[in-house]
Amino acid sequence: MTGIKVVPVLAVQGGSPVCSAAWPSWPQCGEHTLARVANALTSGRWAVSGPSTGRPSIDAELADRFAAFVGVPHCVPVDHGSSALVASLTALGVGPGDEVVVPGLTWVACASAVLRTGAVPVLADIESATLCLDPAAVEAALTPRTVAVLAVHLYSAMADMDRLRAITQRAGLALIEDAAQA
């Protein structure tokens, strides 16, 4: 076993520490970061709902720059992943009486976001190899009330988007990707 340092006694049990260097300072930032923070604090407008200053708000600038970066026409920044899911579902018109297929193994926010729109989350099984939504289970879970499928990329694994996209296109359903847990 080359390259592996065997520590016979842990430092907390009286052994020698593996590292004695100082903990790195946090957060780490440079002059550019400090200038951007100062710009935000002195801008007089932090959000699109603030009074106009004659220039785009910080969040609108972020949205435009991120949309250009990923090559899409629009981006809507939100405060966290749960809000992103609710915004996505709401933008699609998901509401009472609708069903949305979600993975049976994921963070609670996925099913909760569906519930917050008034729709019903339908849990579908996952693939054992990826722990992501199983396309065969999605097909089995579809009903006439299904309007969307929420695929979650989980634990550094990706859901099978090619198969899920084919299923949702064939059924005329929306497909939402959640990469917050990837």
Pair (64, 89) in one structural domain: no
Pair (87, 166) in one structural domain: yes
Pair (103, 47) in one structural domain: no
pLDDT of residue 2: 58
Pair (121, 159) in one structural domain: yes
pLDDT of residue 28: 82
Domain boundary among 77, 95, 127: 77
**Nearest Cα to Cα of residue 101 among 70, 72, 133, 128:** 133
Pair (88, 141) in one structural domain: yes
Q: What is the pLDDT along the chain (182 residues), one digit of tens a residue?
A: 456 666 678 888 888 887 888 888 888 888 899 998 888 888 877 666 667 777 777 788 889 999 999 999 988 888 888 999 999 999 999 999 999 999 999 989 999 999 999 999 999 999 999 999 999 999 999 999 999 999 999 999 999 999 999 999 999 999 999 988 87
* Domain total in the chain: 2
The SS3 call for residue 180 is coil
Domain boundary among 22, 50, 77: 77
pLDDT of residue 49: 66
Whether 27 is in a domain gets the answer no
pLDDT of residue 4: 65
Pair (68, 132) in one structural domain: no
**Nearest Cα to Cα of residue 109 among 21, 59, 180, 157:** 180
Give the strand order in the sheet containing 99-103.
Answer: 120-124, 99-103, 146-152, 174-178
> What's the CA gap between 158 and 132, in Å, rounded?
7
The SS3 call for residue 47 is coil
Domain boundary among 77, 101, 132: 77
Domain extent, residue 103, equals 81-178
pLDDT of residue 103: 97
pLDDT of residue 24: 81
pLDDT of residue 5: 65
pTM comes to: 0.69
